[in-house]
Amino acid sequence: MKILFLHGWHSVPGGVKATYLIQHGHQIINPALPDDQFDGAVKIAQAEFDQHRPNIIVGSSRGGAVAMAIKSSDTPLVLLCPAWKRWGTATVVKRGTTILHSSNDEAIAFADSQELTRISGLPETALIETGNDHRLADAASLRAMLDACLAARPRLIGCDFGVPKKAGDQARKIILIEAVKLGSHHYAIEPNGRNARLVHEFIDPSPWKTKRRGWTLPDLVYSLSADPSVKLAAFDFPFSLPISLLRDTEFARLLNQPPFETRDVWTTFVSDRLRLAFDDDSARSELQDLAFFAPWKDKTFWLRRETDVVTKGSPPLKHKFQNIFAMTIAGNAFLHRLKENGHTILLDSTTPTHSPCVFETYPRAVADRVGFVGSYKTSPQKCLQRAMEFMQQQRVRIDFDENVRRFCNTYRTPGNDPDGADAFLCLIAAIACAEEMAELCCGTDREILREEGAIVVPKRMRDDHVP
């Protein structure tokens, strides 16, 4: 990981904290900052940031104030006892900032960091109390700094979605795989973080959630909303309805509404009437609000979006033999919650792709685009290997933990559905999007596209040696 480390007042490059990060395998940019010219320090730090484009910025004491002052877009900040009240004019920090401070700090009051956390709108967990003094050079504080840097690494997610009624079944069906961006064109699928549940061992008897590899919808909403390090997330469920249904008088009348006309009106309507919560904490608890939408379970409404026609996908409200109906309804309530928390929903080429950004993909289309021939559902191992080869041919490195790989190759839910492989293919779409190797699968009518949305898949590359 590439880290810009900004030292404190009367400090120098190569100190204990910067050295600790180097010893743990990270590339450190550690410029000398003048003590007597704050503006000069900011100018130097800005130049280093612009040249090296680090993954994370660590600022210690006065260096924390410098980190707050430079223009660093969405690059995460880790601030160590930041002296923001003594230097500079910045009084708030960006979303995703982590602050480490000792309550026994003799130089910068711990209350300053409490105030900075509060006025910046950060969660209380963003402020970590550690150490015995201002230096934060003890073993526990050094480890806390490293952990904060690791937690702030940019993450991409692929998620195979599903909405069974019961909580326990959801936590089997909703499978998520996470990759961490380590550097330019370099990612890692590690056995920790959100991936830990894919490979953990459990001993009977234990709580039902610890036996599940996946997520319930409420837990997934909370996890993604609370983590600004997630930059891109690809989901396998329909993000919208055909525009013909949005405009259909009878479709809306069944739920005592005028025609929805637009996707935003429809998703707001769904979200207002579907709680993403269970009645209790048992595995048998159900999302009962789904019953409200039962009048739409009618074959008359099995209509495809333009993007479904292009990718040979199923209609969003189809409910026979599949769970697509519930995925469409509950999935859009889920999207609405993410949008309220600042996520961008990628629908067409005019959508700003500010992070965090979420989009719809289709595993079968991803498998086709990476050059896999056959059914990935019957040969997931071969498909995953082909996807890895495709990314390697595009000079994108993915370090794939063997235990997570084994899970992706073997995990199946009732119906013999390879949900681990589905989630991995969604993740490939997310990485392709991050690498600007993706495109929209959609029709040609822009007005329809704005409401129906597009499916994001990897581009067909001329040099990918598709068999």
Q: 5: part of which helix (H) or strand (E)?
A: strand 2-6
Find the helix or strand (DSSP H, E) in which 432 lies.
Answer: helix 419-434
Query: Looking at residue 74, what is its pLDDT?
Result: 81
306-336: b (≥16 Cβ within 10 Å) or e: bbbebbebebbbbbeeebbbbbbbbbbbbbb
- Inter-residue contact 214 to 175 (CB < 8 Å): yes
Question: Alpha-carbon distance 25 to 16, whole Å?
Answer: 15
pLDDT digits (tens, 9 = 90+) for 283-324: 999 988 999 999 999 999 999 999 999 888 899 999 887 789
pLDDT > 90? residue 395: yes
Residues in the chain: 467
How many CB atoms within 10 Å of residue 355?
19
Average of pLDDT values for 172-197?
94
* Chain center to CA of 119: 25
Say if CB 339 and CB 352 are below 8 A apart: no
Owner of token pair 């920790």: 192
pLDDT in tens, 193-219: 999 999 988 777 778 888 899 999 999
The whole-number pLDDT of residue 342 equals 86
Structural domains in the chain plus CATH codes = 2-151 (3.40.50.1820), 155-458 (no CATH)
Q: What backbone phi and psi angles, to 5 degrees, belong to 180? A: -105, 135
- 131 has a pLDDT exceeding 90: yes
pLDDT digits (tens, 9 = 90+) for 215-249: 999 999 999 987 888 999 999 999 999 999 999 99
User: What's the gap between Cα 286 and its chain centre?
Assistant: 26
* E strand or H helix that includes residue 17: helix 16-23
- CA-nearest of 239, 267, 240, 270 to 255 is 270
The confidence score (pLDDT) of residue 353 equals 63
Q: Stretch 404-428: mean pLDDT, rounded? A: 94
Q: For residue range 45-99, what is the model confidence (pLDDT) as tens digits? A: 999 999 999 989 999 999 999 999 999 988 899 999 999 999 999 999 998 899 9
Within 8 A by CB and 6+ apart from 232, the residues are 156, 157, 355, 356, 357, 358, 359, 430, 433, 434
Q: Read off the pLDDT of residues 338-382 as tens digits, 9 standing for 90 and up.
A: 999 889 999 887 766 667 899 999 999 999 999 999 999 999 999
Q: Does residue 464 carry a pLDDT above 60?
A: no
User: Could you report the per-residue pLDDT of 2-57, keeping only the tens digit for each?
Assistant: 999 999 999 999 999 999 999 999 999 999 999 999 999 999 999 999 999 998 99
Chain-wide mean pLDDT for the chain? 92
* pLDDT score, position 444: 74
Cβ proximity of 395 and 463 under 8 Å: no
HSE-up of residue 63 (Cα within 13 Å, Cβ side): 28
Helix (H) or strand (E) holding 181: strand 175-183
Predicted TM-score (pTM) of this structure: 0.86
pLDDT in tens, 318-346: 988 778 999 999 999 999 999 998 899 99
Neighbours of 203 (CB within 10 A): 7
Tokens of 27: 């590339």
Which tokens hold the place of 253?
């009348």
DSSP conformational letter for 288: G
- pLDDT for residue 467 is more than 50: no
Q: What is the pLDDT of residue 354?
A: 67
Q: Does the pLDDT of residue 254 top 60, yes or no? A: yes
